[in-house]
Structures are given as C-alpha cells and as structure tokens.
C-alpha cells in the first residue's frame, strides 16, 4: 500500500480557515461601517437670546424693540429648517426670542432651567435623536451646551453680541461639529444688552 501525502490536504484546510476568518472579519467591518453611518444625525441650533430691555432691578426683562426684530429674523432664517423641537430657559427673554418661530411652526416651547445644562442635554439626546432642535440660551449657557454635546469649549459670548448662531451636528462617533454663523443686525441698539445673561 502506498500512503498519500497529507500536506496538500493540511494546506487546503489552513487556506480554508484563513479564508473563513477573513470573510467573518470583512462582515464585521462592513456591519460596523453601516451601523455607524446609517444613524441619523442630530442637529442643534443654538442662539443667545435677543437684545433685552435694560431695567435696573428687573432680573427678567422683556425683549427690547431691537430684540423683537431679531426674533422675527429667526422665523425667516429657520422657518423651513425642519425644526422638531424648541427649547428656552425660564426667562422671558429666551422665550420671547423663540416665540415667533414656535408660533410659525406650531411647536410648543419646552422650558428648561438655565442652570441645568445636564438636563437640557439629556432631553435632547433622549427625545430628539435624529431631529433638528432649536435652543435659546444665555451668553454663558450656550457655550456650556455646545461643550456638553461634544463640541469644543468656547468662551462666554461677549455681553454686546446677540447675532451668533451655532449649528452643532452630533454624530454617533467622534466629536460634534460646530458651525458658527451670524444673523440679523451685528450691533445692538444703543445700550441694549449691556447686562449679564
């Protein structure tokens, strides 16, 4: 009897095992790719409230006439942006800033505590995944929210600036992307917005 060499059969088995290993690895990589990029993006548009009346002794003033004009500009800019939710703090100035936009869209304004950035982030992530969300905050809370969403740590917005718009895109992996824009008049009316928040 002549014995057949076993080397070709062993080589075939080794090649088959490696082929199967590469097939499984390729499937995992392909699945990971599609699982990461098929998730809808969440977009958060953040602004500081519009110009407010300067009223010494009043911690919760209304918007000034210049602030009311700026609030109307938001309707023109974002009325067709696909916004699904609007957030504002408990102060009249933030709520009045987004009220014209909320009225046009027929969306209620969700009131949040200005001192609780963690709760704002929790609500956006749990209730509005894959949506466009609009947030009206303050010169110190807008940068906090951006950083909590995974964006860079930005400085507090200067007291005289009311024309910044931050568009934050939150991805499944990696840092959030932030686009800073300007809207409306670049200069507040004389003396408007010179107080904190």
The closest alpha carbon to 95, from 84, 106, 87, belongs to: 87
Average confidence (pLDDT) over 88-111: 98
Quick one: which of 145, 162, 163 has its CA closest to 154? 145
The answer to whether residue 4 scores a pLDDT higher than 50 is yes
The residue-averaged pLDDT of 112-124 equals 95
58, two tokens = 């009043």
% of the chain beyond a pLDDT of 90: 69
d(Cα 95, Cα 80) in Å, to the nearest integer?
20
Q: Which two tokens stand for residue 4?
A: 């057949």
126-165 pLDDT tens trace: 999 999 999 999 999 999 999 999 999 999 999 999 999 9
| pLDDT for residue 40 is more than 80 | no
The verdict on pTM exceeding 0.85 is no
**pLDDT, average across residues 103-107:** 97
Please give the torsion angle defined by the CA atoms of residues 141, 143, 149 and 152, in that order, rounded to the nearest 10 degrees. -160
């Amino acid at each position: 009897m002549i014995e057949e060499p076993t080397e070709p059969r062993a080589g075939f088995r080794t090649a088959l095992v490696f082929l199967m290993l590469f097939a499984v690895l390729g499937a995992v990589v392909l699945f990971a790719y599609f699982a990461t990029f098929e998730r809808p993006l969440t977009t958060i548009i953040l602004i500081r409230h519009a110009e407010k009346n300067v009223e010494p002794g009043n911690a919760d003033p209304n918007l000034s006439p210049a602030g009311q004009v700026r609030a109307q500009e938001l309707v023109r800019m974002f009325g067709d942006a696909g916004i699904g939710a609007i957030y504002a703090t408990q102060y009249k100035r933030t709520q009045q800033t987004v009220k014209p936009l909320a009225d046009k869209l027929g969306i209620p304004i969700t009131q949040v505590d200005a001192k609780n950035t963690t709760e704002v982030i929790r609500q956006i992530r749990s209730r509005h995944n894959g949506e466009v969300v609009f947030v009206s905050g303050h010169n110190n809370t807008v940068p906090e929210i951006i950083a909590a969403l995974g964006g860079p740590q930005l400085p507090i917005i200067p007291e005289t600036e009311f024309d910044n718009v931050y568009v934050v895109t939150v991805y499944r992996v990696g840092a959030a992307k932030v686009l800073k824009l300007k809207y409306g008049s670049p200069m507040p009316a004389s003396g408007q917005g010179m107080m904190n928040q």
